[in-house]
Amino acid sequence: MDLKLVLLAIEEGFLATWVRESDWGFAIALSLHALGMAFAVGISFTIAIRILGIVREIPYITLLSWIALFRLAVLLALFSGMLLLVCYPAKALTNPVFYLKLSLIILGLLQLRYWRSRVLLHGSSASFSGLLGVGLLFCWTGSIAAGRLLAYTYAVLSALQLQDIPLAGDPFFTKSLLFLARGD
Amino acid sequence: MEASLLSFSQASGILAFMNTPWGWPFVETLHFLGLSLLIGTVGLFDLRLLGLAQHISIHSLHKLVPWGVVGYLMNLITGIMFVSSAPDQYLHNPAFISKLSFMGVAGINMILFYLISWPAGTLDSELRLRHARTGAAVSLFCWLGVIVCGRLITFFRPPWCWFCG
């Protein structure tokens, strides 16, 4: 399968073209992504702050009330992230930082899932190691940092440029993906 | 104004730092983390006042607000670093001006909240609760506006001009 053609087809599809070239499409997608991430990261930070022993007056069980809002925020960030991805698929998918961002988000979500299951099981008597709080702060801070770095670290903007990238000096992952895309 | 901001940036070493390869992305990361901290504390407090998550006591959630202030200060410091390093990109930018306006309204709204709704650290009457709810709606609207306008700054950088027709 020629990955470059797949990326080109996505990039030149109706949705990507409309979002990228309309007056407000890309700005709306970026704004929704920022809103979704701000709420997802903000709620995770609040849970992490509580796990680290600050503001003990808030019982864990009551913090579960924010999980529905957290899920909504993650869905918004995911939906808008997909819109941004289809606009410039080669830009993100050839950048190792993009995979770092995804990995940190998945790790952050798994940690919150663990926290939620323990609170559901033990109620307010659930106890957590400070390591979980530090882990949550690390993953969500890292995901934001990686997201910001995406704007500074990409090797190509469009899938059209894939064949023009010199492989020497590129990160290993980019090399591997370009190898696939070239169909060598 | 632009010249004095730039000279402040130069004299304080901000400009030199921002022009390193890691300067802008590092400060942008801190800026967004501050905003997330603000939304995760003040934003949730606002939503609680508006009736969400009623199991959580308003007073215990209010204890998170100082962390929102930490987030706000992070945003203020990093924001000054952005603006002083490239004032021409911000001072005439309608998205940035709108962002500052939202921040100003949020600030006045916060002062009114503590003066009118929460002077004794409690919402002890129906009238105060109603005022607090109005304040929470204004606060949430302003902070969402700050996020959206902050994201739109990049679309209105010079040479974009709103009075050129």
Q: How far is B66 from chain A (nearest CA, A)?
A: 11
Model confidence pLDDT, tens digit, residues A71-104: 999 999 999 999 999 999 999 999 999 999 999 9
A183, pLDDT greater than 50: no
**Disruptive mutation site among A22, A26, A46, A152 for chain B (greatest number of B CBs within 10 Å):** A46
What band does A175 get if pLDDT is binned at 50, 70 and 90?
Answer: low
Q: How far is B118 from chain A (nearest CA, A)?
A: 19
Predicted confidence at residue A168, as pLDDT, reads 45
Q: Which residues are CB-neighbours of B123 under 8 A, at least 6 positions away?
A: B58, B117, B129, B132
Mean pLDDT of A46-69: 90
Global pTM value: 0.89
Model confidence pLDDT, tens digit, residues A114-172: 999 998 988 877 888 899 999 999 999 999 999 999 999 998 898 888 865 544 445 55
Q: CB count, 10 Å around CB of B133?
A: 16
If one compares B42 and A177, the residue with the highest pLDDT of the two is: B42
Respond yes or no on whether the N-terminal peptide bond of residue B119 is cis (omega within 30° of 0).
no
Q: Which of A170-179, B76-85, B139-148 has the lowest mean pLDDT?
A: A170-179
B163, pLDDT greater than 80: no
Yes or no, beta carbons of B33 and A58 under 8 Å apart: no
Predicted confidence at residue A167, as pLDDT, reads 46
- Buried-state track B84-115, b at ≥16 Cβ within 10 A, e below 16: bbbbebbebbbbbbbbeebbebbeebbeebee
Predicted confidence at residue A58, as pLDDT, reads 86
Model confidence pLDDT, tens digit, residues B39-86: 999 999 999 999 998 888 898 899 999 999 999 999 999 999 999 999
Yes or no, beta carbons of B56 and A62 under 8 Å apart: yes
Burial class of residue A54 (count of CB atoms within 10 Å of its CB; 0-12, 13-18, 19+): middle
Structure tokens at B11: 């004299």
How many angstroms separate the CA atoms of A36 and B139, rounded? 18
Structure tokens at B121: 């650290």
> What residue type is A40 in one-letter code?
A
What band does A54 get if pLDDT is binned at 50, 70 and 90?
Answer: confident
Q: What is the mean pLDDT of chain B?
A: 91
Predicted confidence at residue B2, as pLDDT, reads 83
> What long-range pairs does B58-62 form, CB within 8 A, spacing at least 24?
B58/B123, B59/A57, B59/B121, B59/B122, B60/A55, B60/A57, B60/A58, B61/A58
Sign of the four-CA dihedral A114, A103, B26, B28: negative
* Contact present, A64 and A112 (Cβ < 8 Å): no
Pairs of CB atoms within 8 A across A/B = 100
Structure tokens at B149: 């306008």
B120, pLDDT greater than 80: no
Yes or no, beta carbons of A66 and B38 under 8 Å apart: no
Q: How far is B147 from chain A (nearest CA, A)?
A: 7
> What residue type is A116 in one-letter code?
R
Q: Could you give the angle at which helices A67-87 and A14-21 cross, rounded to 10 degrees?
A: 90
How many angstroms separate the CA atoms of A116 and A32, rounded? 26
B165, pLDDT greater than 70: no
Q: CB count, 10 Å around CB of A8?
A: 18
How many angstroms separate the CA atoms of B94 and B90, rounded? 8
What band does B129 get if pLDDT is binned at 50, 70 and 90?
Answer: confident
> What residue type is B148 in one-letter code?
V
What band does A184 get if pLDDT is binned at 50, 70 and 90?
Answer: very low
Chain B residues with CB under 8 Å of A63 CB are: 56
Yes or no, beta carbons of B25 and A42 under 8 Å apart: no
> What long-range pairs does B71-74 form, CB within 8 A, spacing at least 24?
B71/B33, B71/B34, B71/B35, B71/B36, B71/B37, B71/B38, B71/B40, B71/B41, B71/B42, B72/B34, B72/B38, B73/B34, B74/B30, B74/B31, B74/B33, B74/B34, B74/B37
What band does B136 get if pLDDT is binned at 50, 70 and 90?
Answer: very high
ipTM summary value: 0.91
Sign of the four-CA dihedral B76, A41, B65, B108: positive
Q: How far is B22 from chain A (nearest CA, A)?
A: 9
Structure tokens at B145: 């506006």
* Contact present, B41 and A50 (Cβ < 8 Å): no
Angle, CA B53 vertex, CA B32 and CA B40 arms, to 5°: 10
Chain A residues with CB under 8 Å of B53 CB are: 62, 65-66
> What residue type is B52 in one-letter code?
L
